[in-house]
Amino acid sequence: MENITISKLTSWKKNKKKIAAITAYDFSFAKLFSNQGIPVILVGDSLGMTIQGHNSTLPVTVKDIKYHTQSVRKGAPNVFLLSDLPFMSYFTSTQAIQNAAKIIQSGANMIKVEGGKWLITIIKELSERSILVCGHLGLTPQSFNFLSGYKVQGKNEKDANKLIEEAFLLEEAGIRMLVLECIPALLAKQITENLSIPVIGIGAGNSTDGQILVMHDLLGITDGKIPKFSKNFLAENGSIQNAVQKYIKEVQTGLYPDKIYSF
């Protein structure tokens, strides 16, 4: 597979080529996903739930992310690899820089941080030191206590305007990619059209520049609790390889996520 860079992904946005992304946490799945043509992999702190069995992402540490980033990078040398900075690992610029450096040294191309305005200085400081940063707005799982659960965000005008403003401010601060999680499809469309960086959605409709799914959701390993926006691609496609290819195709053609998977 060709080497995927941030400038390539940004040009895909300009050329309206959709980006299919997926989470992975180990060598074997990373290799399989990359071999099927997945261009972007996220070592998400969702590993707290999918791999470690916690009920949130909060216990995940920088050491955990480093370990899984190293494994994924070995399996997928050419993908654009995004790794989460876990809960409370970036509450000051110094801390963010030190922890981001460890994760980048483990093989990530970019780190992802959850939150809005409060991150502006931290994003500037990371970007000035050549660390690529992805923002994450909407439902931010590291704040699930504060948000009183995993709920759709930006449903009223005030919250929607706040998200539009924060997306703009984060781009201005230096993020080079943005994840929008669980927000109304129309709001995600508006944000995507207003930004020049790639916007990747999860539960944010099909007008974003790409989609991301947690691999366990895509493969139906959900203990019967599949989120509304997720689709079990393995159910009708016979093998993991076929399921991933179908996912890529449906993202690229805009078939997934259609209305039943959107808010």
Whichever of 44 and 257 has its CB closer to ligand KIV, that residue is: 44
The only residue of 23, 71, 192, 207 in contact with ligand KIV, by rule CB under 6 A: 23
Separation CA 211–CA 244 (nearest Å):
13
Instruction: Give the x-and-dash track for 33-52 against ligand KIV (CB under 6 A).
Output: ---------x-xxx------
Instruction: Check: CB of residue 25 under 8 Å from CB of residue 49.
Output: no
Single-letter amino acid, residue 187: L
In whole angstroms, what is the distance from residue 13 CA to residue 220 CA?
29
Q: Is the dihedral of CA 251, 253, 259, 262 positive or negative?
A: positive
**What is the nearest approach in angstroms of ligand KIV to the Cβ of residue 157?**
25
The 10 Å CB-count burial string (b at 16+, else e) for 213-227 is bbbbbbbbeeeeeee
Q: Using CA atoms, how far apart are residues 110 and 100, in angstroms rounded to an integer?
A: 9
- The correct pick among 84, 125, 209, 250 for binding ligand KIV (CB under 6 A) is 84
Q: Strand, helix or coil at 170?
A: helix
Annotated catalytic residue: which of 166, 181, 236, 250? 181
For residue 131, give the 3-state DSSP assignment: coil
Residue 179 interacts with ligand KIV (CB under 6 A): yes or no: yes
Minimum CB distance to ligand KIV smaller for 182 or for 234:
182
Tell me if 46 is assigned to a ligand binding site.
yes
**125 is a catalytic site residue:** no
Provide, rounded to whole angstroms, the least separation between the CB of residue 46 and ligand KIV: 3
Q: Which of 103, 122, 132, 202 binds ligand KIV (CB under 6 A)?
A: 202
Q: Which residues bind ligand KIV (CB under 6 A)?
A: 23, 42, 44-46, 84, 179, 181, 202, 212, 214
Residues assigned a catalytic role: 181
